[in-house]
Amino acid sequence: MRWRGIHHVEFSVLDYDESVAFYDRMFGWLGYRSFWTLDIGYRSTYYMARFPLPHSYIGIQPARSGGKVDHGQRATGIHHIALWAKNRGEVDAFHTAFLVASGIPVTDAPAEYPVYAPGYYAVFFDDPINGIHWELAHTPRIPSPRAYLRWTRALASVARTHPDWKQSAIAKAMRVLPGK
């Protein structure tokens, strides 16, 4: 069974130096550490939350072709990347002290998204250089009873728009994958 989640995600960026400057500021604000390839064989810069412990990381490298991403078009490729926030306060502080203060395009201000999970709280924004869509999200380990109630109500509301569903939204959402 897999237990660590994503190993890494790597992006090809339009302006490598400008992108490194932006991501240094963004990931630095969030407390990440960074390392790079020293241009030995290839050129990439990486950001890791729990450096040096083995953990998922995000990398960027110079693009060889392409243009700025428009996530709203839902073109083939990465739609967005969500990073873990420690709590709602970190989402709000990041929004105000980093995104708004830096003039970074916020597509969805901090809000609770009860249909995603109990207590799910996030802000969505775009990388101003490459157009990569990001999310900083907090999902509590143990949601409050009120958050759980908002979640069940949100799912019931969605289910009402699908009268063809014969099961609950949770049962409908679960999928069985083929085994070995």
Handedness of CA 167, 170, 173, 179 (dihedral sign): negative
Average pLDDT for 61-68? 89
135: nearest Cα among 123, 146, 145, 143: 123
Higher pLDDT residue, 71 or 23?
23
How far is Cα 128 from Cα 18, in angstroms, rounded to an integer? 10
C-alpha to C-alpha distance for 69 and 41, rounded to whole angstroms? 27
pLDDT tens for each residue of 12-50: 999 999 999 999 999 999 988 888 887 777 788 989 887
Residue 27 contacts by C-beta under 8 Å, 6 or more apart in sequence? 34, 47, 58
In this predicted structure, the answer to whether residue 113 has a pLDDT above a threshold of 90 is yes
**Cis preceding linkage at 52, omega within 30:** yes
Higher-scoring residue by pLDDT: 155, 172: 155
**pLDDT value for 54:** 64
